[in-house]
Amino acid sequence: MSTNADALAALWLPFTPNRQFKPEPRILARAEGMFYYDPQGRELLDGLAGLWCSLAGHGRKEISSAVAKQIHELDFAPTFQFAHPSVIELAGRLAAMAPANLDHVFFCNSGSEAADTALKIALAYWRAKGQAQRTRLVGRVRGYHGTNFGGMSVGGIANNRKAFGTMLGNVDHLPTTYDRAKQSFTKGDPEYGAHFADALEELVMLHGDTIAAVIVEPMAGSTGVLPPPKGYLQRLRQICDKHAILLIFDEVITMFGRMGTATAAERYQVTPDMITFAKGVTNGAIPMGGVIASKAIYDAFAQKDDWQIELFHGYTYSGHPVAAAAALATLNVYRDENLFERGRLIERWLEEAVHRLKGAPFVADIRNCGAAAAIDLEPLTGAPGKRGHEAIRRAFFDEGIVLRVGGDTIALGPALIAEQSHIERLVDGVDRVLRRLA
């Protein structure tokens, strides 16, 4: 198959400068373990586990076999008023993995759908509880909850919002937890910044009892790996409890070992009312997402008569059998290879390696949290985002590594099967690319 610019004409890629990309496309044709391969067979080290999703590495036969078996046995089955064995088993396994009391799983197909599902559950929950005035949703500056209307509205990344009009009206935002002046080059979670949670008290002062829910990423991934300041999540939980506000953790990046634990909730010992997940649930092999909700939330919908539908929400592919089979096989791999624990090892290796880049050209800050790290570059004067942009992405591709560059930030989040040598190779590659650009 040709991959020249003409062949690419019909394709409209997401979050991509299509016109610049097509004449010089970066094509990934095959993947195995820690590597992608281009159509010529050149090896590219995957520094971001796909897009934070292939935690057990690529090409896992356990998953592809389970997918093939399931597709032969039951290719599709509705979950509107039916169920099937794989989705039943998966719900149980995910509920067992989540903190105690989070034990009802609603399935969808992506992180964006998971965010919108959780926000809708929050609104419907308050209506079911007779507090229909609670309609305000609170996100956070620099938050990312996908690109559907709800997630975009509570999200806090300007470029993802500004072209799309007014969106959901009843939305507010907490401030970001990042303050470079006080946190730069911190290893792990910063000491400074728990007080950023107090902004929620101010929103309560302003909006009274109309706030339905707060949604945050425990570790903000796609904005460039912002670890939670020490005590911040605990404080947010306390304020939510005080004012009866639901707390949603968007764990689309953090669940399944990225934080060295099953969930970030477990790592930080803070239990939200709902967790959203996606990506790693199937190792990225088949789209799937979902929401794990507390018993209190699930039970609140049980006030209607038994024959009545509790929640008028769902997707044709909610709990798709093939995705559920992929997820069950994935969870087995995570368990059999102790990959969540391995996340801690990777965290240590990554922390050691990435902070060596301090002093390399353009490096303005370095952060790490769990098996993730980010390097902020000084922006080019008058063109924020340009330095980190295509030139660098191209340079990485030429260097034989695949890394995420968003704005002027380089993010690293290798698969949890990574060896220390892979991490050294990634960081050395970043170093070489930066020195070449200097």
Q: How many residues sit close enough to ligand PXG to count as binding (CB under 6 A)?
A: 19
Q: Which is nearer to ligand PXG, 300 or 414 (CB)?
A: 414
Q: Which is nearer to ligand PXG, 111 or 290 (CB)?
A: 111
Closest residue to ligand PXG: CB criterion: 111
Q: Which is nearer to ligand PXG, 217 or 376 (CB)?
A: 217
Residues in the chain: 438
Query: DSSP string of 413-437?
Result: ---TT--HHHHHHHHHHHHHHHHHH
Question: In the chain, what's the furthest Cα-to-Cα distance?
Answer: 68
Position 115 contacts ligand PXG (CB under 6 A): yes
In the complex, least distance from residue 418 CB atom to ligand PXG, rounded to whole angstroms = 17
Footprint on residues 284-343 left by ligand PXG (CB under 6 A): none
Question: What gap in Å lies between CA 218 and CA 265, rounded to an integer?
Answer: 8
Stretch that binds ligand PXG, among 22-30, 143-151, 291-299, 359-367 (CB under 6 A): 143-151
Question: What gap in Å lies between CA 408 and CA 374, rounded to an integer?
Answer: 10
Question: What gap in Å lies between CA 215 and CA 246, rounded to an integer?
Answer: 8
Q: Which of 253, 322, 324, 416 binds ligand PXG (CB under 6 A)?
A: 253
The set of residues, in sequence order, having a beta carbon less than 8 Å from that of 428 and lying 6+ positions away, is none
Query: DSSP string of 269-290?
Result: T---SEEEE-GGGGTTSS--EE
At residue 56, φ and ψ (nearest 5 deg) are: -95, 15
Footprint on residues 410-429 left by ligand PXG (CB under 6 A): 411
Q: Which is nearer to ligand PXG, 217 or 408 (CB)?
A: 217
Question: What gap in Å lies between CA 366 and CA 282, rounded to an integer?
Answer: 30
Q: Which of 126, 144, 196, 317 binds ligand PXG (CB under 6 A)?
A: 144
Position 146 contacts ligand PXG (CB under 6 A): yes
Instruction: Identify residue 126 by its one-letter amino acid code.
Output: W
Footprint on residues 173-232 left by ligand PXG (CB under 6 A): 217, 221-222
Footprint on residues 254-293 left by ligand PXG (CB under 6 A): 278
Q: Which of 46, 116, 189, 250 binds ligand PXG (CB under 6 A)?
A: 250
Question: What gap in Å lies between CA 357 and CA 257, rounded to an integer?
Answer: 25
Q: Which of 406, 407, 414, 429 binds ligand PXG (CB under 6 A)?
A: 406
Stretch that binds ligand PXG, among 28-36, 109-117, 307-315, 327-335 (CB under 6 A): 109-117
In the complex, least distance from residue 222 CB atom to ligand PXG, rounded to whole angstroms = 3
Footprint on residues 12-71 left by ligand PXG (CB under 6 A): 51-52
Q: What is the per-residue burial (b if ≥16 Cβ within 10 Å, else e) of 136-146?
A: bbbbbbbbbbb
Question: What gap in Å lies between CA 253 and CA 250, rounded to an integer?
Answer: 8
Q: Which is nearer to ligand PXG, 117 or 222 (CB)?
A: 222
Q: Which is nearer to ligand PXG, 247 or 411 (CB)?
A: 411
Stretch that binds ligand PXG, among 141-149, 258-266, 391-399, 429-437 (CB under 6 A): 141-149
In the complex, least distance from residue 59 CB atom to ligand PXG, rounded to whole angstroms = 21
From the list 366, 362, 358, the residue with the least C-alpha distance to 412 is 366
Question: What gap in Å lies between CA 151 and CA 160, rounded to an integer?
Answer: 10
From the list 284, 277, 292, the residue with the least C-alpha distance to 330 is 284
Question: What gap in Å lies between CA 300 and CA 238, rounded to an integer?
Answer: 22
Question: What gap in Å lies between CA 67 and CA 342, rounded to an integer?
Answer: 26
Q: Which is nearer to ligand PXG, 128 or 293 (CB)?
A: 293
Q: Which of 110, 261, 318, 368 binds ligand PXG (CB under 6 A)?
A: 110
Stretch that binds ligand PXG, among 105-113, 164-172, 316-324, 338-346 (CB under 6 A): 105-113
Q: Which is nearer to ligand PXG, 366 or 411 (CB)?
A: 411
From the list 101, 150, 110, 70, the residue with the least C-alpha distance to 321 is 70
Stretch that binds ligand PXG, among 2-10, 107-115, 203-211, 314-322 (CB under 6 A): 107-115
From the list 102, 365, 427, the residue with the least C-alpha distance to 227 is 365
Stretch that binds ligand PXG, among 71-79, 138-146, 230-238, 338-346 (CB under 6 A): 138-146
Residues that bind ligand PXG (CB under 6 A): 51-52, 110-112, 115, 144-146, 217, 221-222, 250, 252-253, 278, 404, 406, 411
